[in-house]
Amino acid sequence: MNVANLLVRAARCFAKRPAVALGCRVLHDYEQLGARVTALAGALRTRLDLQPGDRVAIVMKNSPAYIEALFATWHAGAVAVPINAKLAAREIAYILQDCGARLCFTGGALAELLRPLQPELPALAHLIDVEAGEEYQALFAAAPLEMQPCDPSAPAWLFYTSGTTGRPKGAVLSHRNLAAMVAGYYLGVEAIGPGDSLLHAAPMSHGSGLYILPFVAAGALHIIPGSGGFDAEEIFELLGCHTQVSLFAAPTMVRRMTEAAGRTQVNLDNLKTIVYGGGPMYLDDLRRAMATFGNRLAQIYGQGESPMTITAMSKALHAACDDPATEHRLTSVGLPQPLVEVRVGGPDGTPLPPGELGEVCVRGDTVMSGYWNNPAATAETIKDGWLYTGDIGCFDEAGFLYLKDRSKDVIISGGTNIYPREVEEVLLEHPGVAEAAVIGVPDPEWGEVVVACIQRESGHALSADELDAFCLERIARFKRPRRYHFLDELPKNAYGKILKRELRTRFASAATPETPQR
């Protein structure tokens, strides 16, 4: 079973349906997209000597080439490694090194960023700039390749997510995992029919890219915004060009769309569904979005280790929360998806009754096989077939799941996971930092923002601006702290562990004069 067959089938069964659009302009129908992918896969094998199981990285903004690169990689029997294009160069280099990528698709400024790193990556034989014109387009002259057979358990997508150790880990998603995710969308979120479209405003390296698969399987149109990213006004303009448009959006994006719709008159006739996830959606924000967009919102809860497939809150479930007796369910993450088992367990894994808090665990064909080349982390996360998510929650009597905390301390800002340990390790590289504790605090715009609590080294006059510049050189801009608090001493318990809960309470709403201008 090779998930590339989704496109092979669509090219045969939905040959003349529009497949890919850039802005309002349709570029390819499914027959044309299928031909481009088989030719590109042929070039990967015959011209670039890519072998089954080799890893192919994709580091680029959203573009039509993203879909071609994904499916050509699978068609050739290789493993796709989509990487967040917002990461800093050294973060990208670590992932390329860890996965042993043989080839990397990239584009434009990102290609210039990565090219100097290539000599330090001995496995990386090819860096293909999809925006360079001749280099990429010449690959489509290759003879088409027959789809390569793959074992269902073979890796298809390495989903890199930062860990609490500060180093990214590659969740190994198999062809079976991705096929189960496709079925989970149809069963748990909604059906996709003729004339449907998927607008890629969120990064295709994450949720929006994963949803390429169910929409290809249904022969739906993929819309790439001309900007290559999220712009609320651009989304509303594209609704005038395409029909039955769905999109995946982080809560921050939904909030901005709601605000933009309130500033002008927007025709929503062609908007079908906004699937939100990747972070907490506050109830007031959700109410405003539902008032603005009507019954067009659905929610998913998942992780890279079980992509988009733990629970779902369909549009019908949203609509059912229309009276005081059921409105509280809007604060949940919905019901377990049909193809997985979800439990809330105690410290020993024993399932807990409704109302009792414990760790959320999931089991099923959507759960990764493990972390790439990291058996210790795999053994810690998967036990007896159950994925231990690190999220703390509880069920209610009706089976709705409510998330209460994240035991892994992950900060979710603008729908993106940021791990405190990773930021702390960078801060501690500065000679003026004696100790550092990074926390997430609530923010009406981003959901949460990163805040650093710092104890200076004795005699060091360290400023927030100096630390901000230091972080910008070492980690992605979106990961760096938004505020810095300098303390004489960080609060600790009797065992010397920093009390982050106390820091969260203390600085939940406090601003500080030592805050860099943004």
pLDDT given at position 492: 82
For the segment 293-314, the average pLDDT, to the nearest whole number, is 96
In a domain, 52, yes or no: yes
For the segment 11-30, the average pLDDT, to the nearest whole number, is 98
How many structural domains are present in the chain? 2
By the 8 A CB rule, do 359 and 344 touch? yes
- For the chain, the 3-state helix, strand and coil shares in percent, each to the nearest 5, are 35, 30, 40
Q: Do 120 and 51 lie in a common domain?
A: yes
Which parts of 219-372 are beta strand (E)? Answer: 221-224, 245-249, 271-276, 297-303, 306-313, 335-336, 340-345, 358-364, 370-371
Per-residue pLDDT at 518 exceeds 50? no
Q: Do 418 and 387 lie in a common domain?
A: no
Closest CA to 8 of 157, 194, 191, 216: 216
Instruction: Give per-residue pLDDT as tens, 168-184.
Output: 899 999 999 999 999 99
Q: Do 229 and 117 lie in a common domain?
A: yes
By the 8 A CB rule, do 476 and 419 touch? no
> At 78, is the secondary structure helix, strand, or coil?
coil
What does the longest C-alpha to C-alpha distance in the chain come to? 72
In a domain, 432, yes or no: yes
Structural domain boundaries, residue 345: 5-392
Neighbours of 292 (CB within 10 A): 18
Q: Please, what is the angle between helix 464-472 and helix 420-427, to 10°?
A: 110
Instruction: Give per-residue pLDDT as tens, 363-417.
Output: 999 999 999 999 999 999 999 999 999 888 899 999 999 987 666 677 888 888 7
By the 8 A CB rule, do 189 and 210 touch? no
Looking at per-residue pLDDT, the higher value among 241 and 166 belongs to: 241
pLDDT given at position 405: 65
Among 133-142, 192-201, 335-344, whose mean pLDDT is lowest?
133-142
For the segment 275-299, the average pLDDT, to the nearest whole number, is 91
DSSP letters of 208-253?
HHHTHHHHHHTT-EEEE-TTSS--HHHHHHHTTTSSSEEEEE-HHH
Q: Do 455 and 317 lie in a common domain?
A: no
In a domain, 398, yes or no: no
Q: In what order do the strands lie in the sheet with 335-336?
A: 25-29, 18-22, 221-224, 197-199, 245-249, 271-276, 297-303, 306-313, 335-336
pLDDT given at position 4: 98
What is the average pLDDT score of the chain?
92
In a domain, 337, yes or no: yes
Closest CA to 86 of 65, 63, 110: 110
By the 8 A CB rule, do 341 and 362 touch? yes
> What is the percentage of the chain residues whose pLDDT exceeds 90?
78
pLDDT given at position 517: 42
Q: Do 426 and 383 lie in a common domain?
A: no
Looking at per-residue pLDDT, the higher value among 167 and 269 belongs to: 269
Tokens standing for residue 477? 């801009």
Tokens standing for residue 78? 């290789």
In a domain, 401, yes or no: no
Any long-range contacts for 310-315 (C-beta under 8 Å, 24+ apart)? 310/336, 310/337, 310/340, 310/342, 310/360, 310/362, 310/389, 311/335, 311/336, 311/337, 311/342, 311/401, 312/184, 312/188, 312/189, 312/337, 314/188, 314/189, 314/190, 315/190, 315/273
Q: Do 501 and 355 lie in a common domain?
A: no
Any long-range contacts for 377-384 (C-beta under 8 Å, 24+ apart)? 377/163, 377/165, 377/169, 381/305, 383/349, 384/349
By the 8 A CB rule, do 71 and 238 touch? no
pLDDT given at position 396: 96
Q: Give residue for tokens 């109302």.
A: 355
Per-residue pLDDT at 515 exceeds 70? no
pLDDT given at position 501: 82
pLDDT given at position 406: 66
> At 92, is the secondary structure helix, strand, or coil?
helix
Asked whether the CA dihedral 287, 289, 294, 300 is positive or negative, the reply is: negative
CATH of the domain at 479: 3.30.300.30
Of 392, 426, 449, the domain-final residue: 392
Instruction: Give per-residue pLDDT as tens, 69-102.
Output: 999 999 999 999 999 998 889 889 999 999 999 9
Instruction: Give per-residue pLDDT as tens, 473-513.
Output: 999 999 999 999 999 999 986 446 688 888 988 998 655 44
Query: What's the CA gap between 382 and 171, in Å, rounded?
Result: 12
Query: What's the CA gap between 75 and 64, in Å, rounded?
Result: 17
Per-residue pLDDT at 15 exceeds 80? yes
Q: Do 337 and 469 lie in a common domain?
A: no
Query: What's the CA gap between 168 and 160, in Å, rounded?
Result: 6
Query: What's the CA gap between 43 and 2, in Å, rounded?
Result: 19
Q: Do 447 and 372 lie in a common domain?
A: no
Residue 57 buriedness (CB in 10 A; 0-12 / 13-18 / 19+): buried
In a domain, 340, yes or no: yes
pTM of the prediction? 0.85
Which parts of 382-422 are beta strand (E)? Answer: 382-383, 386-395, 401-406, 411-413, 416-418
CATH of the domain at 61: 3.40.50.12780
Q: Where are the alpha helices (DSSP H) in 52-149?
A: 64-75, 89-99, 109-114, 134-137
Query: Confidence class of residue 147 from pLDDT cuts 50, 70 and 90?
Result: very high
pLDDT given at position 512: 46
Q: Do 212 and 100 lie in a common domain?
A: yes
